[in-house]
Amino acid sequence: MLKYVAKRIGLAIVTIWAVATITFFLMNMVPGGPFLSEKAISPQATAALEAKYGLDKPLFQQYLTYIMDALHGDFGDSLKQRGRTVMDIILMKFPVSARLGGVSVLVSLLIGIPLGCIAALKRGKFLDSLISVVATCGIAVPSFVICTVLLYFLGVNLQLLPTMGLTSWKHYIMPVMALSFYPTAYIMRLMRSSMLDVLGQDYMRTARAKGLSGGVILFKHALRNAVLPVVTYVGPMLAYTVTGSFVVEKIFTIPGLGGEFIKAINGRDYTLIMGTTIFLATLIIIMNVVVDIVYKIVDPRIKLK
């Protein structure tokens, strides 16, 4: 196990380096730059800015400098949000997105798993069909539609919930609904099909034949095996959700990290593009390692190599 984890971490570092390198050269290939605006800045000012941030150096040298600094934990200053470092921005915005995303993932698991089980146990019945319809809607309807509908009815028309910010539990309701709708639907479907698969297995019949109670069968034998695909899905999903959603954050004016990804790219804020990309890549890799370990716990037969 330890050896496995060590190996995975080694691989993770190589992967992150590769992601960083590809991103660095790709973003520099795209036309445009961080110091452009509708009004041309004077050539002296542009030159001074480029000198200040080292953008006047040859690209490969910039790359080496960046990697060396990053290895020392210095991800540089944002080129657009003057006076803030990339680390400042991530540390300031990530907790907001993480709280919102964490709650959303929790909600989707707590709703998706039981409903998926019910659908499987009630296969072909009305309840199953109803859950299927809801699940299909959840997958088909994009989050900005959900956001807008919620905002219009609950926020503006009925004025039940606040429309912007994230300062009290009430502020969480609409964004969490918008963020968790898709994963809930996805988990329901995953859970349903894998539960159906498990329920048809021989060992389930054996368990029943042994006279075990329904509860033991369901929780000890069926659920534990059926939940594996969900675990696989939840790992990366968690990484994406806690790093924030551009759409949901924009519509509900939530100061999260999601918007920074898009703003950084649109503004060619090179250091912030690098910082957010490396951050997301790291998180996804960590989540994948965690998923593998959880696998091992849930199903001890799985060998980690």
Give CA–CA dist 301/295, Å, rounded: 9
For tokens 């299909």, name the residue. Answer: 136
210 binds another protein (CB under 8 A): no
Q: Quick count: other Cβ atoms within 10 Å of Cβ 211? A: 6
Judged by CB under 8 A, the stretch of 17-25, 181-189, 214-222, 232-240 that binds another protein is 214-222
Q: How far is the CB of 42 from another protein (least distance, A)?
A: 4
- The 32-61 contact track toward another protein, x by CB under 8 A, reads xx-xxxxxxxxxxx--xx-xx---------
C-beta closer to another protein: residue 172 or 279: 172
Rounded to whole angstroms, the Cα distance separating 282 from 288 reads 10
Of 251 and 284, CB closest to another protein: 251
Stretch that binds another protein, among 2-10, 61-69, 95-103, 131-139 (CB under 8 A): 95-103
Q: Is there binding between residue 101 and another protein (CB under 8 A)?
A: no
Query: Which residues have a Cβ under 8 Å from the Cβ of 33 and sit 6 or more positions away?
Result: 55, 268
Nearest Cα neighbor of 232 from 291, 285, 191, 297 is 291
Contact assessment for residue 270 and residue 28, using Cβ atoms and an 8 Å cutoff: yes
Nearer to another protein, 16 or 268 (CB): 268
Is 121 a binder of another protein (CB under 8 A)?
yes
> Is 228 one of the binding residues for another protein (CB under 8 A)?
no
Binding to another protein (CB under 8 A): which residues in 174-203? 176
How far is 267 from 257, CA to CA, in rounded Å? 15
CB of 82 to another protein, least distance (A): 5
Selected from 21, 65, 136, 253, the binder of another protein by CB under 8 A is 253
Count residues contacting another protein (CB under 8 A)?
80
Choices 12-20, 132-140, 248-256, 287-295 (CB under 8 A): range interacting with another protein: 248-256
- Applying the rule CB under 8 A, the residues between 129 and 168 that interact with another protein are 148, 151-152, 155-156, 159, 161-168
Rule CB under 8 A: say whether 62 interacts with another protein. Answer: no
